[in-house]
Structure 1
Amino acid sequence: MAPSWTFAVARADLGRCTLVDGATADPSEGEALLRVDRVGLTANNVTYAVLGDAMRYWEFFPPGPRGLAPEWGLFPLWGFAEVVASTVAGVEVGQRVYGYLPPAGHLLVRPDRVDASGFRDASPHRAELPSPYNAYRATSGDPAYRPDQEDLLILFRPLFFTSFMLADQVVDNGFYGAESLLLSSASSKTAYAAAFELHGRGPSLVGLTSPGNLAFTRSLGCYDQVVPYDDIGTLDAVPTVYLDLSGAPSTRAALRQHLGDRLVRDIAVGLTNQTPNAEAAEEVFFAPVQMRKRSQDWGRDGLDKRFTEAWRRFIAAVDGWLDVQVGAGPEALRDAWLDVLAGRTPPRVGRVVQF
């Protein structure tokens, strides 16, 4: 048994949290034990918790085996882990992997489909959950991996995948015939990564953001225009696609009133049809759907190649857009969670925690 720890939040009150010590069982036949090493915290992790029931995010890392009552939840994190024990051929002690991790010291996995690129966790409780979240990429077999870019991978890769697939779907549909693409929450990583992919490829790109984030969002250089939410009435009334990453009903109402039938597409990004925002939108974008389409169009290797090329273009630019703040230990994870939950982390700051 390996000593470990677990950080959990109350599912009904995300600001209430607990940090408990415990132990992790040694792997049985067909299992491997990962030590969680370095993770990131962004608004995306808060979204996982907010939609934990609707999208089954709470089910990836159930609290019961860790000695916690069902009222507690373990929100998923993206980051790097190290294999510290294994009974599975091809999953070797010392191997470093990137993937979905719990806010805890260790994770017991059941590796399946093991190859040079990594493996998938075939634990029974994850069998019916979205498969992209069950993949663990070995750094030695990942073309996008660079040792000196780990923090950028932690903070941006899951968001950039959504951004990449969103931009691809828009292009794949001929920009829906629009002259303007309008993105809300334009200072968010998912929004500006999508804008980076789309910039200069067709319609003008307009970012909507709060007054406090105007200067930062304009400094990125990936929008043709950045407008505060209160100035929606100044937008050109041209055929427009709205990519909604903020979920604010007032923004949608203002756009519909101002643009009328010039609003040719209204797309909620990354949300579920169980949320009011998605119900109010005409359609919902969910990255795994476009990923499946492109896996068929291009093959998995073709999709990986295009993603890696796009990632390298993006990462060359984004390094100057972000100040990474690194904390150490479970207490730093708790502090980062509370800061991100309360909206106290500026868009230029990325929070990473090393264990």
Structure 2
Amino acid sequence: MADSWTFAVARDDRARTTLVDSPMPAVADGEALLRVDRVGLTANNVTYAVLGEAMRYWEFFPPEPRGLDRQWGLPPLWGFAEVIASTVAGVEAGQRVYGYLPPAGHLVVRPDRVDASGFRDASGHRADLPSPYNAYRSTSGDPAHRAEQEDLLILFRPLFFTSFMLADQIIDNDHYGAQSLVLSSASSKTAYAAACELHGRGPRLIGLTSPGNLAFTRSLGCYDTVLTYDDISALDPVPTVYLDLAGAPATRRALRDHLGDRLVRDIAVGLTQQTPNADAAGQVFFAPVQMRKRSRDWGRDGLDERFTAAWQRFVPVLNKWLAVQVGNGPEALRHAWLDVLAGRTPPRVGHVVQL
């Protein structure tokens, strides 16, 4: 095999994939080379591909330097990498970092704002992309890092951060005056992580899910009520906020028909059905916006402290039921992608790939 490799998916058909050999990237002055070590694959990564054009996710890791044309896209992954070469003071070989990574063997970054917590990639093509995705946290300076929890961080940290910020925005706005919060795709990781943060802190939490996931979702214990999508007519007609993680038009119509003006907020929160839902919703939740607000309110250290406390509350919930499925090598990454894309991964299973 060549010194490195790249996995890519066709932008117009996400089930069409390629795995190509590529040379080891060279490191110029002001740059560092990361070896991608261990990553996760969840519905979140499929979301990045679905919204690759609209939300510019394809731009983080351009295919051209890796010998691929623009029919291909590199869906971003979250995970851990190791610095193997560096020309930047404070970024040393052997340093382990957590962050946004390509589905590839290596990544060249241009570290900036280097401190004990890590650095940001200041590469030119990432300069005007959302800044939270450009941060690389050093494990030695990260209060949320525990070595024994790395797989949980790989699978859940970005999702949980979205959930944490979503719950915080709801609480920050006094639940928009709602008596009920309804979450679609309630068996999804982002939904139930948010529900765990919100449970017992105000309105009733109602999860909507498919019949096949009903028992699992109820077993989580983070919803007051779990219903199937066919049972929307059983909802109490009280002031309600809808947090839409599914993007299913029929669900939105049913809620609007049933609740009328009692539906006080309709908020799109990503998707799991691969159907963009932002246009149909009344409001779109984007975690970096709330994160920037709280960074101003609390400072970066204050945000880190609150996130770490929430994460440690969530870990025992995860440990009760999550089954981590570990694969090895690029081919395992391809298989995990296709399984998640096709919806073949049970909600109790999380895919981690050691590269």
Structure 2: distance between partners of 1:220 and 1:138: 32
What are the superposed Cα offsets for residues 8-48 of structure 1, whole Å, 9 maximum, x if unpaired? 11111111111111112231111110000000000000000
What corresponds to 2:90 in structure 1? 90
Is residue 16 of structure 1 aligned with residue 35 of structure 2? no
Please give the alpha-carbon distance, in whole angstroms, between the structure 1 residues aligned to 2:119 and 2:276: 36
Give 2:241's aligned residue. Answer: 241
In the alignment, the residues of structure 2 paired with residue 288 and residue 263 of structure 1 have an alpha-carbon distance, to the nearest angstrom, of 25
* Structure 2 residue 287 is matched with structure 1 residue 287: yes
Whole-Å separation in 2 of the counterparts to 1:336 and 1:312: 27
Q: Give the aligned length.
A: 351
For residues 338 and 16 of structure 1, what CA distance do their matches in structure 2 show? 9
| Matched residue SS, 1:104 | coil
Deviations 1:197-239 (A, max 9, x none): 0000001100000000001100000000000000111111111
Q: Which residue of 2 aligns with 1:160?
A: 160
**1:136 CA displacement:** 0.3
Q: Could you tell me how far apart the structure 1 residues matched to 2:51 and 2:26 are?
A: 32
For residues 113 and 333 of structure 1, the distance between their equivalents in structure 2, rounded to whole angstroms, comes to: 32
**Alpha-carbon distance in 1 for matches of 2:258, 2:145:** 45
Q: CA deviation at 1:176?
A: 0.9
1:49 is matched with which residue? Answer: 49
Counterpart check, 1:33 vs 2:15? no
Match for residue 351 of structure 1? 351
Separation (CA, whole Å) in 2 of partners of 1:133 and 1:69: 24
Match of 2:64 in 1: 64
SS in 1 for 2:52: coil
Q: Give unpaired runs (5+ residues) of structure 1.
A: none
SS of 1:279 mapped into structure 2 = coil
Match of 1:183 in 2: 183
Q: Quick check: 1:321 aligned with 2:338?
A: no
Deviation at 1:321, TM superposition (A): 2.4
Q: Partners in 1 of 2:121 and 2:188 — Cα distance? A: 30
% identity of equivalent residues: 81
Give the aligned partner of residue 73 of structure 2: 73
For residues 159-209 of structure 1, give each alpha carbon's deviation from its aligned partner in whole angstroms, at most 9, with x where no partner exists: 001000000010011111111110000000000000000000001100000
TM-score for both structures, normalised by structure 1: 0.97
The SS at the match of 2:171 is helix
Question: 2:113 and 2:297 mapped to 1: Cα distance?
Answer: 22
Cα distance between partner residues in 2 of 1:237 and 1:16:
45
Residues 1:118 and 2:109 are matched in the alignment? no
In 2, distance between residues paired with 1:316 and 1:291?
A: 25
Quick one: which amino acid aligns to residue 43 of structure 1?
Answer: A
Aligned residue for 1:277, secondary structure, equals: coil
Residue 240 of structure 1 aligns with an amino acid whose one-letter code is T
Give 1:263's aligned residue. Answer: 263
Give the alignment's TM-score, normalised by structure 2: 0.97
In 2, Cα distance between equivalents of 1:324 and 1:243: 27
**1:122: how far off?**
0.6
Q: By how many angstroms is 1:277 displaced?
A: 2.1
CA–CA separation in structure 2 for the residues paired with 1:195 and 1:118? 30
> C-alpha deviations, 1:138-164, integer Å up to 9, x for none?
000000000010000000000001000
Matched, 1:132 2:141: no
CA contact (8 A) 1:167 1:197 kept: yes
Secondary structure at the counterpart of residue 153 of structure 1:
helix
**How far apart, CA to CA, are the structure 2 residues paired with 1:59 and 1:260?**
40
Matched, 1:99 2:95: no
Gaps of 5+ in 2: none
- Ranges of 4+ aligned residues in structure 1 off by more than 2 Å: none
* CA deviation after TM superposition for structure 1 residue 120, in Å: 0.4
The aligned counterpart of 1:149 is: 149
**Whole-Å Cα distance in 1 between the matches of residues 218 and 306 of structure 2?**
27
1:276 CA displacement: 5.7
Output one character per residue of 1:282-301: Cα deviation in whole Å (capped at 9) or x when no partner: 11111111111111111111
- 1:301-316 mapped onto 2 (5 Å cutoff): 301-316=301-316
Measured in 1, the distance between the counterparts of 2:234 and 2:298 equals: 41
2:69 partner letter: A
Shift of 1:270: 3.5
Q: Which residue of 2 aligns with 1:197?
A: 197
